[in-house]
């Protein structure tokens, strides 16, 4: 963590996001139970697609929308477009 380059910053954010997702999953299982977690996963697949490729595209669409609205990576100077 702590990179100063845009690419390094994006990598840092990605790793932090992955850690946050893991912690959330762990929390949901511990405090709500595996059934709740499975229901949430099913809802997630329904909203974003059952295939990782489709979900990745949907995630990127959401990220671009956030960037355009000034709510995401653009605030820290990261250009995601080639």
Please give the distance of CA 8 from its chain centroid, rounded to a whole number: 17
Residue 64 corresponds to which tokens in the numbers above? 């671009």
- DSSP classification of residue 57: H
* Total Cβ atoms within 10 A of residue 34: 10
Angstrom CA distances, 9 to 26, 49, 52, 54, 80, stand at 26, 28, 24, 25, 11
pLDDT digits (tens, 9 = 90+) for 9-55: 667 777 777 788 788 888 888 988 889 888 888 888 888 888 877 88
Residue 56 corresponds to which tokens in the numbers above? 């990745």
Please give the model's pTM, rounded to 2 decimal places: 0.48
């Amino acid at each position: 963590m702590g990179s100063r380059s845009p690419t390094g910053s994006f990598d840092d954010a990605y790793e932090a996001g992955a850690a946050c997702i893991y912690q959330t999953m762990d929390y949901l299982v511990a405090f709500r139970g595996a059934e709740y977690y499975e229901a949430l996963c099913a809802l997630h697949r329904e909203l974003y697609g059952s295939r990782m490729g489709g979900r990745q595209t949907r995630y990127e669409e959401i990220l671009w929308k956030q960037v355009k609205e000034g709510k995401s990576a653009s605030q820290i100077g990261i250009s995601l477009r080639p």
